């Protein structure tokens, strides 16, 4: 990259807003949506490839690019409105910082995605990743009421709004959430909040995988509304056996009643955890996946979870696994190469189960894509949507359909 161009970036962002990256890639650190737009207009005009970096705790900064756009300075929690149950934060805000701001206002964002505590909000949105709380509160798509993105050619596009119910215009936010950065750079997010629940109880049981899985389904079928009901592999739970962790939230009386019903429906040796211990457990489950190089997400229905646990432990390994026998979904983290991943995808496709590559080194992402092959007709839609939001293909992402 030529010195005059770096000078132009510095003119846009100031000296502090431009730095040399570790691998020599210049790095822009814009502080606002408008800054991001100006950087991308420049990138578009110059034809640069750009990779977006957050805290680099989930996806490493390894996509090929002539410019790295870091969201480190795009990290403010702009507003928290407990009265309206809405908060606005910039995409680079680390989750732990956001949580602290919300907590001070008595508010709670019911998400527990995998990753380190400082993982950025934007990273969670881009991967649409969800932890055990997906059972009780849905996915991150269900917590976002609006967002702003900057397109690959530097246009500022907003979707949704700042109110919790809104059907004005097409729901472009859904395309951005889980778009792995291919449809623009998310810069600002409006979130739907809840009040911190008065009571929040986690209880755990350990034992054989199949027994615990059946227990989870019994609890679910009894209509007990758990916030989370997650089956965790011994390695991930740092225990000698599989663990079933049940979390219930609400008013004190309701939580006590749910805990009694859980124990009655699934007669196991339950241990109720103190709030410190439960926080530590959920943090452990979240952090586990970032150890090994690759994380996979299987969109499996509850009734298929046992079979997929068999398949994953047989074909990959029984390393770091968490799964939802009640609500579905399975996450595996470990080491896998492109060939084995393709084989796994073929096996799953035959069972109508999507396999998403949530995390992995660039070479793997490039070779197999986050999504692999698209279904008939869908690949064409995805390519054309990419053109709308990134007409010059500035954004370095792994969304090409795999045709192999």
Partner 1 sequence: MTLLPHGLGQRLAAIVGDRYTRLRPGELAVYGQDGLPAEPSPPGAVVLPGSREEVIAVVKLLHEAGVPWVARGAGTGLSGGAVASSDSVIIGLTRLTRILDLSVGSRRAVVEPGVVNARLSAYTIPHGLVYAPDPSSQTACTLGGNVAENAGGPHCLKYGVTTNHILALEVVLPDGSVVQLGSPSGDAWGPDLVGLFVGSEGMFGIATRITLRLVPVPEAVRTYLADFGSVRAASESVSAIVATGVIPAALEMMDQACVRAVEASIYAAGYPIDAAAVLIVELDGSREGVAADSDVVAPLLAAHGARQLRVADDPAERARLWQGRKKAFGAMGRIAPDLAVQDAVVPRSVLPDVLDRITVVGERHDLVVSNVFHAGDGNLHPNISFDRRDLRRTAQVHAALSEIMEACVAQGGSITGEHGVGADKRDYMPLVFNAASLDAMCRVRRVWDPLERANPGKVLPVNACREWRAGGVE
Site for partner 1 in 195-214 (CB under 8 A): 195-198
Nearer to partner 1, 209 or 297 (CB): 297
Is 46 among the residues that bind partner 1 (CB under 8 A)?
A: no
Question: How many angstroms separate the Cα of 160 from the Cα of each of 54, 115, 127?
Answer: 23, 27, 19
Which residue has 């000078």 as its token pair? 7
Is 79 among the residues that bind partner 1 (CB under 8 A)?
A: no
Q: For residues 340-399, which are near partner 1 according to CB under 8 A?
A: 352-354, 356, 371-379, 381-382, 384-385, 388-389, 399
Alpha carbon 35 to its chain centroid, in Å, reads 25
Is 32 among the residues that bind partner 1 (CB under 8 A)?
A: no
Beta strands 228-232 and 242-250, pairing class: antiparallel
Is 303 among the residues that bind partner 1 (CB under 8 A)?
A: yes
Secondary structure class of 289 (helix, strand, coil) = helix
Task: Single out the residue of 1, 14, 34, 81 in contact with partner 1 (rule: CB under 8 A).
Answer: 81
User: DSSP state, 222?
Assistant: T
Give me the least distance between CB of 298 and partner 1, in Å please: 8
Q: Which H helix or E strand runs over 384?
A: helix 378-389
Give me the least distance between CB of 302 and partner 1, in Å please: 5
> Which span (4-12, 50-58, 117-125, 188-196) binds partner 1, by CB under 8 A?
188-196
Is 314 among the residues that bind partner 1 (CB under 8 A)?
A: no
Task: Single out the residue of 62, 171, 218, 400 in contact with partner 1 (rule: CB under 8 A).
Answer: 171
Provide the 10 A C-beta neighbour count for residue 389.
22
Nearer to partner 1, 59 or 237 (CB): 59
Question: How many angstroms separate the Cα of 29 from the Cα of each of 71, 150, 233, 282?
Answer: 6, 14, 39, 32
Nearer to partner 1, 107 or 204 (CB): 107
Q: Which phi and psi (to 5°) does residue 145 adopt?
A: -105, -10
Is 3 among the residues that bind partner 1 (CB under 8 A)?
A: no
User: DSSP state, 115?
Assistant: S
Task: Single out the residue of 36, 40, 59, 177 in contact with partner 1 (rule: CB under 8 A).
Answer: 177
Size of the site for partner 1 (CB under 8 A): 88
Q: For residues 244-273, which are near partner 1 according to CB under 8 A?
A: 250-254, 256-258, 261
Do you know the residue count of the chain? Answer: 404
> Which span (82-90, 114-122, 264-272, 314-322) binds partner 1, by CB under 8 A?
82-90
Give me the least distance between CB of 158 and partner 1, in Å please: 5
> Which span (5-13, 206-214, 263-271, 301-309) binds partner 1, by CB under 8 A?
301-309
> Which span (117-125, 221-229, 232-240, 283-291) binds partner 1, by CB under 8 A?
221-229
Q: Considering just the CA atoms, what is the radius of gyration of the chain in Å?
A: 22
Kindly state the tokens that stand for 393: 């293909």
Is 47 among the residues that bind partner 1 (CB under 8 A)?
A: no
Task: Single out the residue of 60, 64, 106, 361 in contact with partner 1 (rule: CB under 8 A).
Answer: 106
Residue 7 burial by Cβ neighbours in a 10 Å radius (0-12, 13-18, 19+): exposed
Task: Single out the residue of 85, 214, 263, 338 in contact with partner 1 (rule: CB under 8 A).
Answer: 85
Cα gap 203→271, rounded to integer Å: 5
Question: How many angstroms separate the Cα of 118 from the Cα of each of 27, 56, 121?
Answer: 20, 10, 9
Nearer to partner 1, 116 or 194 (CB): 194
Is 293 among the residues that bind partner 1 (CB under 8 A)?
A: no
Q: For residues 124-163, which are near partner 1 according to CB under 8 A?
A: 128, 138-139, 141-142, 151, 155-159, 161-163
Residue 270 burial by Cβ neighbours in a 10 Å radius (0-12, 13-18, 19+): middle
* H helix runs in 24-157, sequence order: 33-46, 95-104, 121-127, 134-137
């Amino acid at each position: 990259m030529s010195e005059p161009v770096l000078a132009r970036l510095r003119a846009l962002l100031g000296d502090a807003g431009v730095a040399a990256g570790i691998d020599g890639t210049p790095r822009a650190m814009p502080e606002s949506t408008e800054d991001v737009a100006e950087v991308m207009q420049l990138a578009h005009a110059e034809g640069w490839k750009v990779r977006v970096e957050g805290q680099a705790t989930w996806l490493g900064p390894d996509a090929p690019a002539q410019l790295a756009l870091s969201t480190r300075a795009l990290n403010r929690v702009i507003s928290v409105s407990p009265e309206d149950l809405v908060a606005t934060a910039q995409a680079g805000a680390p989750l732990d910082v956001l949580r602290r701001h919300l907590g001070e206002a008595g508010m709670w964002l019911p998400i527990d995605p995998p990753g380190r505590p400082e993982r950025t909000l934007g990273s969670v949105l881009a991967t649409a990743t969800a932890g055990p709380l997906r059972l009780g509160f849905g996915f991150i798509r269900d917590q976002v009421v609006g967002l702003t993105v900057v397109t690959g050619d530097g246009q500022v596009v907003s979707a949704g709004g700042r109110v919790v119910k809104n059907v004005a215009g097409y729901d472009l936010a859904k395309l951005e959430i889980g778009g792995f950065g291919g449809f623009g750079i998310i810069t600002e997010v409006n979130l739907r909040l809840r009040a911190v629940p008065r009571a929040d109880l986690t209880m755990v049981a350990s034992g054989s995988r199949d027994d615990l899985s059946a227990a989870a389904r019994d609890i679910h079928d009894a209509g007990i509304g758990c916030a989370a009901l997650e089956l965790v592999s011994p390695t991930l739970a740092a225990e000698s056996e599989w663990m079933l962790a049940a979390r219930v939230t609400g008013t004190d009386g309701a939580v006590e009643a749910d805990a009694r019903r859980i124990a009655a429906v699934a007669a196991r040796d339950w241990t109720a955890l103190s709030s410190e211990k439960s926080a530590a457990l959920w943090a452990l489950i979240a952090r586990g996946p970032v150890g090994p190089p690759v994380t996979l997400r299987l969109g499996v229905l509850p009734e298929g979870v046992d079979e997929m646990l068999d398949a994953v432990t047989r074909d990959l390994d029984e390393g770091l696994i968490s799964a939802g026998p009640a609500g579905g979904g399975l996450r595996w983290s470990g080491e896998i190469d492109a060939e084995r991943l393709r084989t796994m995808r073929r096996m799953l496709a035959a069972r109508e189960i999507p396999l998403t590559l949530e995390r992995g080194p660039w070479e793997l992402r490039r070779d197999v894509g986050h999504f692999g092959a698209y279904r008939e007709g869908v690949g064409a839609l995805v390519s054309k949507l990419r053109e709308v939001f990134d007409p010059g293909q500035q954004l370095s992402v792994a969304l090409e359909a795999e045709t192999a």
